[in-house]
Structure 1
Amino acid sequence: MATTLRFRQLKDKAKLHGKEEEHEEANSWSNRDLIPLPPSRRTWGWFHYFGYWTINSLNVSNWQSPNTFLTYGLSVPQSLCVIVVGRALICFFSTLVAWCGLRWHIGFTIQNRYTWGLRGSYIPLLQRILLNFIWCAVQCWNGGRLTAVCIAAIWPSFATMHNTLPSSMPTTTYQFVGFIVFWCLSFPFLLVRPERFKLPFQITSIYCGLGMVCMLIWSLSAAKGVGPLWSQGQTIPATSSWNTSWLMMRGINQMIGGIAAGITNGSDFSRYARGPKHYVVGTITSAWITGTLVSLVGLVVTSACQKLYGEVFWNPPDLLMRMMDSGQGSSKARAGVFFLAAGFALTGMFENVCGNAVAGGIDLAGLFPRYIDIRRGAMITFIAVWIVQPWQLINKAATFVSVLSSFAVFLSPIMGVMVADFYIVRRGRIKLSHLYRTHDTDYWFTRGFNWRVIPCWLAGWAPTIGGLVVTVQEKEDAPRALYELYYMAFLIGFFISGTLFYVLNKVFPYGGCGEYDQVDVYGTFTPKEAAALNIIPTTTDPLEEIQGYSPQVEKEPQETVTRKA
């Protein structure tokens, strides 16, 4: 009896609390971080989105991307063409998916409810949560390597310290200490609300951007030219079964797939925009232009350093350590390496905190809204890093990491269904009041599941899953068609799922499509936005103006007044 009482007390303490007059009360389907954002919390301008996308562009993986395409046998101009086209498509799909957040100010977690059903939305959520856990761990490990370089720049003996870890652990004390320091430095930023990430984004993007420019100028000056890698031509073997077009298609697919997880939950961050143009301008100027320039700088610096050191260093931590060694441990060399490594580490830190931990927090809040908000969910995601053990994944399970890198096979069909439902089936109109209750709602479908989505999602990845398997297993004798489908996996999954979803909704229609709330239920819209959407703005409690509406799941509401397009 006493144990039960203590458990109930603990449960009550763990429950989230919010201001009921601002519709922030926590229940089975809603809390402060899941409701549509009011204007007071939408504070991001175009430069803040420029910083957000710059954090996603000024990173190690984007720096290394030309290496992948050169390895395929493409020439430098062809590789750069792949990057330009790939980044442009990233901007296009990001804006396409994020528009729901820009118009209705809800995130990915809630966005899936009107497509998959309230319970069915757990299917894409669980996929995203798995990816957040894994990639948060991997990013922490990569950031730890850069942090170790920073420490070695201050204390050179740190790089040669004795390894005290057992042989069964596939890492060294040097790397593990860097990982621990990076994890500890990142943790306090989990307490920052997403709407307050603006300043860290700006500072970090400017700092790292200047660092990369300095690295570019130094390498060209020291090498007295670009180096041999820059002039590398096409090296596709004559016996290769793949021509230039297919290899470029493979590269474009890989570029989009590498950031597919971030595109999928784009509305989690687009909802913080002061207006759509801020998101669009910030995305184009950074995700496309800056992202392309970072890859170009990475190629030029690597080529120049090849001329200096006689070997190719695509990985920034390895290159920075080589730069410090060539400087013979001088204070100037160590200072330069420290500030460059710190810039890479900072971008990795905020990309990880925002793109993985905070995104994971939002997704976990969708599963347990009574007890988990963004902060608690982000902490859970970050603590899970120790369960995932990234040192084991990266050093012992390279195949598993390759599979995760190709997870766009499963994500692109989700995006295809989301886009088809929002733009074509619903014509961009949804009932916000129906997204947070299980009774008298258009989004409950059949026991909380929209059965139409499941076959569409399966049909999207079924043609390409075989190519994923043979690519990971490196089977050279596999049917060519499997590879061809896999090299177009993102586009195939997106369009097959979206088209099939539209057809199924024509054959098996359901009610509520094209309808939306007559009244601004949550105080979400400015007068200008409400007028554009033909919604009545409210100055009093909007819930009182909707007959019988109750945010509590336990109370069954009466019919909600809606407006049909």
Structure 2
Amino acid sequence: MTDTPPPATAAGYDPGLYNADLAPVPAERRDWSWVNMATVWMGMVHNIVVYEAASGLMALGLSAWECLEVVAVAYMVLFLAMWFNARAGTRYGIPFCVLIRSAFGPYGAQLPVVLRGFCAIFWFSVQAYAAAQAVDAVLSTLSPAWASMTPSLLGMQARMWLAMAMVWALHAWIASHGVHRIRNFELVAGPLVIIVGLLATIWGLRVGHGLGPLFAQPSHLHGAAFWSTFAMGVTGMIGMWATLTVNIPDLSRFVRSERDQVVGQAIGLPITALVFTPMGIITTSATIILFGHPIWNPVDLLLALNHPVVTVLGGATLVLATLSVNVVANIMPACYDLVNLMPRRLDFNRASRLVLVLGVFFMPWLWFNEAAGIYRVLDLISGLLGPVTGIMLADFYIVRRQVLDVPALYRHGGRYDGRNGWNVPALAAFAAGGAVASAGHVVPGLAGLNTVAWFVGVAIGAGLYLALSPRRDAHPAEDAATLSNA
């Protein structure tokens, strides 16, 4: 079952570049309102990684209030980047893997698409395993028989294999029947997790008799040290969402208007983040009073509280939060990326099942023993995706002047073909921007670049692409006709 049936004018499209799931969403089928866009973002923003992010910033010496300032700056930058990059999806109804062909060419586009798909499946695997840990914690607390299932296979105990099977099955159920079911799931999951977070915050305020000790902790950084840490925190926050910055058209293609897209993202992204972050800080403040030390990991907190009802409800909330971020931020873009690679063989539903299988082969239980390795790999990928964001923005707003010949995106040999399907300016800008943005990870003397890697990648990617590309498209008359029919 697909969400976007092929238009009647599909004749002449290259079958290696087109199928029903990659086709432009007709205007009459773009039925997401600002409420849908906001709840989708709510479902993504309140996840375990974001919850724990404040602990990392405070461990570096920032105060709780300065953490909120970092969150405000980072998510405002993300909102602006996603607002502008989402516009092409809303206007033309096309996904990221099709839109990127305008800048990279149909063959060259496969490079950022594969990179984005790899990162999506990797993140899905890691986050789904985190949810499986929550399931295991709950069932181990409630059932001695469950806790006794200790035989191991491939480095993981039997009960964790069963917990993973449960979590994978939940992901499969939500992802089945395509984007329509995902939208409806997020309409419930996003607000529900916020409500549970509010209950936890009220508990934290009662235990702490106010905001708690973490909000009373002063900043330990000043001058250059403060600004360096502040910049690193902003870049780190952006890095968590650098992947979605490039593929936001996968979501915005279903939104009915530009206004709905902007309002929904404004509510769901910076506003939700500014509400969710202090929730985590206040709840953690309560753990200092109760246990004498901060507990930032929600699973550890549930085990420490040791209350069956709280454990079950809290564990269910953690699983729900992980599902809500995984299906939209990871499974959905990975499906489109896989369909783009094999449009003759895959549709959205088949691709979603393939994502689940590939997620197991990433063996996340082994990566969890090398957490530093996870973030090192993902930081490198984020550094490479910064230039992709810059190239996409420069191409759509300056080179193409916000006008695309949509049918040409589904054919070889047209205006977006570059040199035999490879657009050299985009490839050169991507390579140069990615190399500079990631240089700090391999050259110790350039480690300072890590604090602004995403910004450097965006700037170099956009600047070099514009320097190597013509300033306007070659067929403005045809583009005008395309726009009038879009």
State the TM-score, normalized to the length of structure 2: 0.93
Q: Which residue of 2 aligns with 1:323?
A: 305
Structure 2: runs of 5+ lacking an equivalent: none
Per-residue deviation, 1:143:
1.3
User: Residue 182 of structure 1 corresponds to which residue in structure 2?
Assistant: 167
Is 1:492 paired with 2:456?
Answer: yes
The Cα offsets for residues 139-168 of structure 1, whole Å up to 9 and x where unpaired, read as 110111122234345x242674252116x7
**Residue of structure 1 in register with 2:27 after alignment:** 39
SS in 1 for 2:424: coil
Q: 1:68, 1:43 → 2: CA distance?
A: 39
Contact 2:108 2:427 in 1 (8 A): no
Q: Give me the whole-angstrom Cα distance separating, in 2, the residues matched to 1:100 and 1:217.
A: 41
Q: Which residue of 2 aligns with 1:314?
A: 296
Q: Deviations over 1:49-100 (max 9, x none)?
A: 1111001111111111111111111122211110111111111111111111
Determine the C-alpha separation between the residues in 2 that align with 1:120 and 1:385. Answer: 26
Change (3 A) 1:95 1:152: same
Q: CA deviation at 1:274?
A: 0.8
Q: Which of 408, 414, 417 in structure 2 is aligned with 1:434? A: 408
Cα distance in 2, alignment partners of residues 465 and 536 from structure 1: 42
2:392 is matched with: 418
The Cα shift of 1:452 comes to: 1.1
Checking the alignment, whether the CA contact within 8 Å between 1:42 and 1:273 is kept in structure 2 is yes
SS in 1 for 2:367: helix
Deviations 1:123-143 (A, max 9, x none): 111101211221111111011
Verify: 1:82 aligned to 2:70, yes or no: yes
Residue type of the alignment partner of 2:280: G
Q: Is the 8 A contact 1:64 1:298 kept in 2?
A: yes
Cα gap change, 1:266 to 1:376, in 2 (>3 Å): same
1:206 maps to 2:216: no
Partner of 2:343: 369
Q: Which SS does the other structure have where 1:428 is aligned?
A: coil
Residues 1:157 and 2:130 are matched in the alignment: no
Q: CA deviation at 1:464?
A: 2.8
Provide the C-alpha distance between the structure 2 equivalents of 1:321 and 1:59, rounded to a whole number of angstroms: 19
**Equivalent pair of 2:139/2:147 in contact (CA under 8 Å):** no
CA contact (8 A) 1:426 1:514 kept: no
CA contact (8 A) 2:182 2:327 kept: no
1:249 is matched with which residue? 231
Mapped contact 1:257–1:406 kept (Cα < 8 A): no
Matched, 1:121 2:90: no
Deviation at 1:41, TM superposition (A): 2.3
Q: 1:293 to 1:195 in 2, by over 3 A?
A: same
How big is the shift at 1:313?
A: 0.8
Q: CA 1:18–1:250 in 2, change beyond 3 Å: closer, same or farther? A: closer
Q: Determine if contact 1:86/1:256 at 8 Å carries over to the other structure.
A: yes
Equivalent residues of 1:43, 1:195 under 8 A apart? no
Q: Is the 8 A contact 2:175 2:182 kept in 1?
A: no
Equivalent pair of 2:252/2:261 in contact (CA under 8 Å): yes
Confirm or deny: 8 A CA contact 1:394 1:401 kept in the other structure: no
Distance 2:374 2:137 in 1: 27
How many residue pairs were aligned?
A: 482
Q: Are 1:226 and 1:300, in contact at CA under 8 Å, matched by a contact in 2?
A: yes
Verify: 1:137 aligned to 2:125, yes or no: yes
Q: Percent identity among equivalent residues? A: 25
Between the aligned partners of 2:56 and 2:145, the Cα distance in structure 1 is: 32
Q: Write the letter of the residue equivalent to 2:205.
A: L
Kindly tell me: are residues 18 and 497 of structure 1, through their superposed partners in 2, closer, same or farther at Cα, counting changes over 3 Å?
A: closer
Assess if the C-alpha contact under 8 Å between 2:394 and 2:465 holds in 1. Answer: yes
> In the superposition, relative to structure 1, how do residues 76 and 173 fare at CA in structure 2: closer, same or farther (>3 Å)?
same
SS for the counterpart of 2:317 is helix
2:362 maps to amino acid: V
Structure 1 position 503, deviation (Å): 1.4
Q: Is residue 2:244 matched to residue 1:259?
A: no
- 1:300 is matched by which residue type in structure 2? I
Which of 494, 497, 501 is residue 465 of structure 2 equivalent to? 501
Q: Which has the higher contact order (CA 8 A, sep 6+)?
A: 2
1:250 Cα deviation after fit: 0.5
Distance in 2 between residues matched to 1:196 and 1:177, nearest whole Å: 25
- Cα distance 1:115–1:349, how it changes in 2: closer, same or farther (>3 A)? same
Distance 1:137 1:64 in 2: 19
Q: Alignment partner of 1:21: what SS?
A: coil
Deviation by residue 1:398-435 (Cα, 9 ceiling, x = unmatched): 41443214421100001101100100111101101111
Q: How does 1:290-309 map to 2 (within 5 A)?
A: 290-309=272-291
Q: Which secondary structure state, in structure 2, belongs to the residue aligned with residue 487 of structure 1?
A: helix
> Are residue 21 (structure 1) and residue 8 (structure 2) matched?
yes
Quick check: which has more Rg, 1 or 2? 1
Alignment of 1:162-561 (within 5 A): 162-165=149-152, 169=155, 171-236=156-221, 243-324=225-306, 333-396=307-370, 398-439=372-413, 441-469=414-442, 478-479=444-445, 482-506=446-470, 512=474, 514=476, 516-517=478-479, 533=483, 535-536=484-485
* Rounded Cα–Cα distance in structure 1 between residues aligned with 2:214 and 2:143: 31
Stretch moving more, 294-303 or 397-406:
397-406
Could you say if the C-alpha distance between residues 26 and 196 of structure 1 is closer, same or farther in structure 2, counting changes exceeding 3 Å? farther
After TM superposition, the score normalised by the length of structure 1 is 0.81
Q: Is the 8 A contact 1:132 1:360 kept in 2?
A: yes
Pair 1:49 & 2:37 matched: yes
2-structure distance, mates of 1:198, 1:353: 10
Q: CA offsets per residue over residues 248-296 of structure 1, 9 Å max, x none?
A: 0010011111110011100011000011111111111111111121111
Do 1:42 and 1:195's aligned partners in 2 also have CA atoms closer than 8 Å? no
Q: Which amino acid aligns with 1:43?
A: D
After superposition, the C-alpha distances for 1:463-520 in whole angstroms (9 at most, x for unaligned) are 23221236xxxxxxx32xx1222211111110111011111114xx786364545656
Distance, in Å, in 1 between the alignment partners of 2:69 and 2:215 is 14
- 1:28, 1:370 within 8 Å by CA — same for their partners in 2? yes
Q: Does the C-alpha gap of structure 1 residues 228 and 513 become closer, same or farther in structure 2, counting only changes over 3 Å?
A: farther
- Measure, in 1, the Cα distance between the counterparts of 2:145 and 2:68: 38
Q: Gapped runs of 5+ residues in structure 1?
A: 1-16, 325-332, 471-477, 521-532, 538-565
Q: Per the alignment, do residues 454 and 126 of structure 1 end up closer, same or farther by CA in structure 2, a change over 3 Å counting? A: same
